[in-house]
Amino acid sequence: MSPRRRIALSLLVAVGGAVGLVGAEMAARWAPSHARSYMVGDPVLHHRPRVNDARKVVGVEYRTNSLGLRDREYAVPKPPGVFRILMLGDSFTEGGGLLAEDTIPKQLEAQLNARCERTFEVVNAGVASYSPILEYLLLKTVGLTLQPDLVILEFDMTDLKDDLIRTATAKFDARGRPVAVPPDLRREPALLMPPIRKPRWLRVLDPVEAWLGRSKVYYDFRRSPYGERLLGSLKLTPERLEQLGLIGNVQYDYGAPTRDVEGPQEREAWARSERYLVDIRDLAWTQRISFVLVINPHAHQVSALESPVGRFREGVGPGLYTSDRPFRRLEHFGRSKDIPVINPLRLLRERTAVERPLFKHDDIHHTPAGARVVAEAVWHGLAQRGSIPCRD
């Protein structure tokens, strides 16, 4: 073969390979925008449940209304004499793996109507993987149409990580408030994918790894069995977090905010999420709606015996995490911003000794009993603070 023909053939192979990679990348990015079957991608809310849907999710019935909320339909305008509460949150509020009547919002509704003379409605506006930035947008686009008298936000410790990821792809107005969080199948996996374990002298390749990480094809390869064997598992167990030096890193460590020592990025992450909470408060207040913050303690903050398998799957080691850093931070934030804060931690720790399990064995979410205890703590907190027309 002549040199000219050899060069031409090499160029053809190179161009063909490049075209193939580009095509694969485009195909990967045009794939469905959300892995959960009951969710769809949304240009403003990132993702949301399908509207008027009914199916099994985590083995239980999951139904949504015409607004895409896991709840029944609600009358608008709101009927006279009804005190309506909109409860925002993530999968803990939504009720991952629980029947609708066993979720925190519905158990709170049942307790309020059993103890108070007035009629209460508690709307379940929890959506899996939501955090304050998306909860602000959900309140703005959907929640206010229901004319709530009170907005409750159940703050989850993983909200710091979720807000970090969502902010990277968000769009903001001139005042710095979010207007949309479109899904980004290239940027998000790159932010979530742990770095490759490598010797110190090879860390000069970190920029190359970061550049590759923005490719959906590369991410799909990393997730494949061959990719995990070659470059390391993407599952961040406690041991792997330690191997990679990621303990306390909000971007990767599920339990980072619950540890004794503040980790890298944590202060910035708290400030980011708190800014979105203030946006939610301000939006509610402009409509003369009260706003209350509820802290959601995790299993490893409640008991050393709760959710032994579930916590390990999230990279949290054994034992009771006794640090009160996140609770003190949120309570101080509430006092400084005139936001009532309810902390169910004490009641959960008391009840776990006699009603365990309050969290599922192999899943970090509540059992029906755990959701009931949280609902009880919220009911007492609302009544004691005068946030509802009913006394404890």
The pLDDT value recorded for residue 35 is 53
Predicted confidence band of residue 201 (pLDDT cuts 50, 70, 90): confident
**Do residues 43 and 182 make contact, with C-beta atoms less than 8 angstroms apart?**
yes
CA atoms within 13 A on the CB side of 295: 29
Residue 160, classified by CB atoms within 10 Å of its CB into exposed (0-12), middle (13-18) or buried (19+), is buried
26-30, 51-55, 122-126, 202-206: which has the minimum mean pLDDT?
26-30
pLDDT band at 106 (very low <50, low <70, confident <90, very high): very high
- 187 falls in which pLDDT band (50, 70, 90)? confident
Higher pLDDT, 27 or 49: 49
Alpha helices in 318-390 (DSSP H): 325-336, 345-355, 368-384
What's the confidence (pLDDT) of residue 21?
40
- Specify the pLDDT at position 25: 42
Q: Where are the domain boundaries for CATH 3.40.50.1110 in the chain?
A: 39-183+265-384
Q: Which residues pair with 334 in a beta bridge?
A: none
What size, in residues, is the chain?
392
Per-residue pLDDT tens over the stretch 297-330: 999 999 999 999 999 988 898 999 999 999 999 9
Predicted confidence at residue 18, as pLDDT, reads 37
In percent, the amount of the chain with pLDDT more than 70 equals 90
pLDDT of residue 346: 97
- Checking if the pLDDT of 58 tops 90, the result is no
Does residue 183 have a cis bond before it (omega within 30 degrees)?
no
Highest average pLDDT, of 20-24, 26-30, 154-158, 243-247, comes from 154-158
Does residue 92 register a pLDDT over 60? yes
Out of 3.20.20.70, 1.20.1560.10, 3.30.70.270, 3.40.50.1110, select the CATH number for domain 39-183+265-384: 3.40.50.1110
**Residue 34 pLDDT greater than 90, yes or no:** no
Taking residues 381-390, what's their average pLDDT?
A: 95
Tens of pLDDT, residues 266-289: 999 999 999 999 999 999 999 999
Rg over alpha carbons for the chain, rounded to the nearest Å, is 23
End-to-end distance of the chain based on CA atoms, in angstroms? Answer: 91
For 321-348, letters b (16+ CB in 10 Å) and e give bebeebbebbbebbeeeebbbbbbbebb
**Residue 107's pLDDT is what?**
98
| Torsion sign across C-alpha atoms 251, 257, 259, 260 | positive
The band of 2, judged by pLDDT with boundaries at 50, 70 and 90, is low
Q: Which residue has the higher pLDDT, 180 or 210?
A: 180
- By the 10 Å C-beta count (0-12 exposed, 13-18 middle, 19+ buried), 130 is classed as buried
Range from 104-108, 119-123, 211-215, 318-322 carrying the lowest mean pLDDT: 211-215
* Average pLDDT rounded to a whole number, residues 16-33: 40
pTM for this prediction: 0.89
pLDDT of 29 reads 42
Q: Among residues 330, 300, 301, which one has the least CA distance to residue 313?
A: 300
Say what the pLDDT of residue 195 is.
Answer: 85
Region of 87 please: left (phi>0), alpha (psi -120 to 50) or beta: beta
In contact, 171 and 178? CB cutoff 8 Å: yes
Q: Average of pLDDT values for 198-209?
A: 73
- Tell me the pLDDT of the chain averaged across its residues: 89
According to the model, what pLDDT value does residue 391 have? 79
Task: State the pLDDT at residue 31.
Answer: 43
The yes-or-no verdict on residue 56 having pLDDT over 60 is: yes
3-class SS letters over 6-49: HHHHHHHHHHHHHHHHHHHHHHHHCCCCCCCCCEEEECCCEEEE
Rounded to the nearest 10°, the torsion over CA 15, 18, 19, 23 is: 170
Q: What percent of the chain has a predicted confidence (pLDDT) above 90?
A: 70
